[in-house]
């Protein structure tokens, strides 16, 4: 990127979960232009092979970079981050930021040394998670829950879905039994479920996700590249949009614009069935 245009971030996820990261980045770095790329035609990634995740992620990001040259790529998907980052860094010179469960900050916050990790089944099984716990929380009891439905409940919120509190309460029972005081939201979809999770786990004192750490890393990378980042206190100019474009590989979820407005990241355009090699129709909606 050059000239006086603000730095642009390309933010990728398998669905709408990364919008929680987009909201956090916009809150801390409001001058940045954000392009959001969702492989919702491939959602969910948790039941896909590593080869499929790598191919889809790299292919879509490569296509997006041709249309939207960017200063930083954020892979806001825990499953993709565990397998894709080395391949992306070989493919492009653009700095790449991934997400990992926030075990380190959780260990710094917990007072009773009992942490709950809420993640996808795929993330819970990854060996890198064992290494994170051993390195940063070896003195803590870490109770893990890998539930297959939470990401779907988060996706359904976009089109007016309601979180089934009874099922959620049953799913989180191990955290109550273990008396955890801190919960790591180990999937970017899960901050979208936070209010429901708080109802289910009222005794939890600290909720930790990766959004702020990602925003800090993006700011650091832009600073290293001598890219201007406007201070938190300065707002967007009138008529600007927090998200300049959101690209879906499948059909855009019904209600996506209203949902993003509610998160404070209103999009300028929504494009579905993108890119060309996946396109059977295109819809662009100006807000």
- Tell me the longest C-alpha to C-alpha distance in the chain: 56
Which one of 24, 58, 77, 140 is the catalytic residue?
Answer: 77
Q: Which distant-in-sequence residues (6+ apart) come within 8 Å of 202 by Cβ?
A: none
What string of DSSP letters covers 230-268? --TTPPPPTT--SEEEEEESSPPPTTHHHHHHHHT--BS
Whether residue 77 lies in the annotated active site? yes
Rounded Cα gap, residues 248 and 279, in angstroms: 10
R_g of the chain, CA atoms, integer Å: 18
Rounded Cα gap, residues 19 and 265, in angstroms: 8
Whether residue 24 lies in the annotated active site? no
Rounded Cα gap, residues 160 and 65, in angstroms: 32
* Cβ–Cβ < 8 Å for 260, 243: yes
Query: Taking Cα atoms as reference points, which of 4, 8, 2, 3 lies closest to residue 241?
Result: 8
CB atoms within 10 A of CB 105: 17
Catalytic residues: 77, 187
């Amino acid at each position: 990127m050059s000239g006086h245009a603000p730095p642009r971030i390309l933010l990728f996820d398998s669905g709408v979960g990364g919008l929680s990261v987009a909201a956090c980045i916009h809150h801390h770095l409001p001058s940045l232009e954000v392009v959001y790329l969702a492989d919702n035609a491939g959602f969910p990634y948790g039941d896909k092979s590593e080869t499929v995740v790598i191919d889809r992620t790299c292919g879509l990001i490569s296509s997006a970079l041709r249309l939207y040259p960017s200063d930083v790529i954020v892979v806001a998907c825990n499953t993709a981050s565990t397998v894709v980052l080395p391949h992306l860094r070989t493919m492009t010179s653009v700095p790449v930021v991934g997400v990992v469960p926030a075990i380190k900050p959780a260990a710094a916050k917990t007072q009773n040394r009992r942490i709950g990790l809420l993640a996808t089944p795929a993330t819970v099984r990854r060996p890198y998670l064992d290494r994170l716990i051993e390195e940063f929380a070896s003195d803590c009891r870490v109770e893990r829950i890998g539930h297959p439905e939470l990401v779907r409940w988060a996706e359904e919120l976009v089109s007016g879905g309601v979180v089934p509190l009874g099922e959620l309460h049953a799913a989180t029972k191990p955290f109550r039994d273990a008396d955890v005081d801190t919960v790591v939201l180990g999937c970017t979809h899960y901050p979208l479920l936070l209010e429901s999770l708080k109802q289910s786990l009222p005794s939890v004192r600290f909720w930790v996700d990766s959004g702020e750490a990602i925003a800090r890393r993006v700011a650091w990378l832009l600073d290293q590249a001598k890219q201007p980042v406007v201070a938190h206190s300065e707002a967007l100019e009138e008529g600007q949009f927090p998200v300049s474009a959101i690209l879906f590989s499948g059909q855009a979820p019904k209600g996506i614009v209203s949902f993003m407005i509610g998160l404070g990241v209103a999009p300028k355009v929504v494009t579905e069935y993108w890119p060309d090699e996946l396109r059977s129709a295109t819809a662009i909606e100006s807000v």
